[in-house]
Amino acid sequence: MGKHLTKNDRIKMETMLNSGHKVTEVAAYLHVHRSTIYREIKRGEYTHRNSDYTEEVRYSSDLGQKNHDWNAQGKGRSLKIGNDMPLAEYIEDKIVNDKYSPEAALAAVTQSGIEFKTSISVRTLYRYIDNGIFLKLTNKDLPIKGKRKKHNKKVKVQKRASAGESIENRPEEVKDRETFGHWEMDTVKGKQGITKSCMLVLTERKTRDEIIIKMPDQKAASVVEALDRLERKWGDMFPKVFRSITVDNGVEFADYEGLERSVLRDGEKRTFLFYCHPYSSWERGTNENSNRLIRRHIPKGEDFEEKQDKDIEYIETWINNYPRGILGFKTSAQLFEEEIKKLA
């Protein structure tokens, strides 16, 4: 029976091959038949891109070992992604550095226009990650892992009156997401007891477009002021773009008259505000999901007092250009722009 290569053997093999040694020389050094080396090269080969953009096929001891371990566990044939190192590196970069989900990373692969040697499914990608196939990517890099908690969406009887109009009186067109211009609004807070500032987050229900505004505090007056700035920015378009806004019963949203009142047209409303039932965050599900995307950049409990406007703008841009499965892996920015063109 022939000798099996160990991890150290593979490392020595990679070093010798990269140094220009022939297969027969490597085989003699490791005391194996040359056919063993040829099979191992096939198991761990990948296409390496040099700094001058030329490409060459190389052997990776890490990839060879992972393929060996995978096969030894009886979990399948040689890894497809093992023959396409650029694809593996692209996926790693999207998930580890750009904070994409596996689904979004594969969508980015399709939309990139880059011709990779192979393709893999979402299920296969998750399996590769679970089994430690990637060199840099692990389960710790995934934004969400495991089953999400299911919410019991029973309509609760409101125990106290909201400051303004209840969500029960919100038009049906808002619920079905077929009409543009209906938003959800929330605040994202920093480390409790340390961070005084917070972020005001608005999410458009149809396109999932996100607007993030940093506020000095969580007072109702600061929210009104932030909405005033937003109205001045959009001008006459504001009532068309922000037809309604749904909020929770937080004290920061208590001044419903100030939030609805236009600063550009005396005595007129700029939007219509609707309040969720108490303890029913699922009634702002779009907002809640978008807040999870923010938390990929600013984990819960982190002090973001020092975050500059450019940092907030980066997060907003990242979210709006993130491929979303619920949007057919289009981006919110694309869909939002289409809707704005219809209003022009």
- 70 and 176 together in one domain: no
**DSSP label of 95:** I
Regarding whether 173 and 59 lie in a shared domain, the answer is no
Work out the number of other CB atoms within 10 angstroms of the CB of residue 107.
22
Closest by CA to 208, choosing from 235, 244, 182, is: 182
Same domain, 60 and 95: no
Q: Domain of 306?
A: 167-343
Residue 231 and residue 321 in one domain: yes
Last residue of a domain, one of 74, 96, 111: 74
Could you tell me whether strands 165-166 and 182-189 are parallel, antiparallel, or unpaired per DSSP bridges?
unpaired
Do 261 and 306 fall within a single domain? Answer: yes
178/220 same-domain check: yes
Q: Considering the domain boundaries, does residue 2 fall inside one?
A: no
Q: Is the same domain home to 174 and 310?
A: yes
Asked if the structure places residue 155 within a domain, the reply is no
Helices (H), 188-308: 220-234, 238-241, 256-260, 285-295
CATH label of the domain that carries residue 256: 3.30.420.10
Q: Same structural domain for residues 188 and 236?
A: yes
pLDDT in tens, the chain (344 residues): 457 888 889 989 998 998 899 999 999 999 999 989 998 998 888 777 776 667 788 888 888 887 777 666 544 455 667 678 889 889 999 998 888 999 999 999 998 889 888 889 999 999 888 877 787 888 888 876 544 444 454 444 444 445 578 898 999 888 888 999 999 999 988 777 777 888 999 999 999 999 999 999 989 999 999 999 999 999 999 999 999 999 988 899 999 999 999 999 999 999 999 998 876 766 776 777 777 888 888 887 777 777 888 999 999 999 999 998 889 999 999 999 999 999 97
Both 177 and 321 in a single domain? yes
Query: Does residue 306 form part of some domain?
Result: yes
Residues 314 and 247 in one domain: yes
Structural domain count, the chain: 3
